[in-house]
Amino acid sequence: MFFKQSLLILKRDLKIEFRNKSLLLSMIIFAVLFQVFLQIVFDANIEAIKKIAAGVLWIPILLSALLGFSKYGIAERENDALTGLLIAPVDRGAIFLGKLLGNLLFVFIVVIISVPVFFLFLKQPFPESIGLLLFTLFLGSWGFVALGVFFTTLAQSSSITDLLVPIMIFPLAVPLFLAISQLTEMALYPSIVMGQDLWVLLLVGYNILFTIAPLFLFDILLEV
């Protein structure tokens, strides 16, 4: 029942978003453009790029996801649609899960396009540990999107939503950022594989915390 409800929310949101594909398209274009921009400004040689590769890989994805948060479901603001959604006999947790899945789908599509572009420009051999890289990309995007969707929905009533969201989530996401940058570095250059299990543990724990907690908190926080 719960999952059926979240799938309904997901279906509804995706239908709205795919009617005008501008959001997904602009997220992809932004990520790729920023990727190119970073490669140009850093203009690093093979040795130096090792230090910044994880950042160059992740920053476009994270910023693109961040820009997507507040625009995804923007139709909710029109005609008081959000109130309608909250009145509907749907579990609030299911609303969160549905929105999370929708945003996540968009970010995954961005990842699928942005990461190959990264390797294309980097003139770098194929990642040594592709499994670890995919794992990190999956859970890293998941954690960031969970955090983002939660706080963006809450910050809708703020007068500075678009600015408040990054100010709120970036400090909270420091453990997540450290975990994904370390794991990405390990996946790209496997010579430094110290403490990999620790970071995997941190990443998984962080994701569980920020996926489960909002499911319950949404109910308290979103009252009509």
Partner 1 sequence: MIQRFIDPIKLILTGITAILIGIQLYMVFFFAPIEKYMGIVQKIMYFHVPTAFVAFAAFGVVFGAGILYLITKNKKWDYLAVSSAEIGVLFTTFVLILGSMWARPVWNTWWVWDDPRLVTSLILWFIYVAYLLIRTSVKGEERHRKFAAVFGIIGFIDVPLVYFSVLWWRTIHPKVIDENGANMPPEMANTLFFSMFAFMVLFATMLLYRYVLESQREKVKEIRQHSMSERTDF
**Is the torsion defined by CA of 168, 36, 137, 106 positive or negative?**
positive
Choose which of 62, 97, 154, 215 interacts with partner 1 (CB under 8 A).
154
Residues 53, 184 contacting (CB under 8 angstroms): yes
Smallest distance from the beta carbon of 147 to partner 1, in angstroms?
9
* Candidates 11-19, 63-71, 128-136, 156-164; binding stretch for partner 1 (CB under 8 A): 156-164
* Candidates 24-32, 77-85, 116-124, 191-199; binding stretch for partner 1 (CB under 8 A): 191-199
* Candidates 55-63, 84-92, 129-137, 169-177; binding stretch for partner 1 (CB under 8 A): 169-177
Smallest distance from the beta carbon of 210 to partner 1, in angstroms?
9
Query: Based on CB atoms, which residue is closest to partner 1, 55 or 105?
Result: 55
Angle between helices 174-188 and 196-221 (to 10 degrees): 150
Choose which of 71, 162, 217, 219 interacts with partner 1 (CB under 8 A).
217
Q: What are phi and psi of 132, to 5 degrees?
A: -65, -40
List the structure tokens of 223.
């009252």
Residues 35, 121 contacting (CB under 8 angstroms): yes
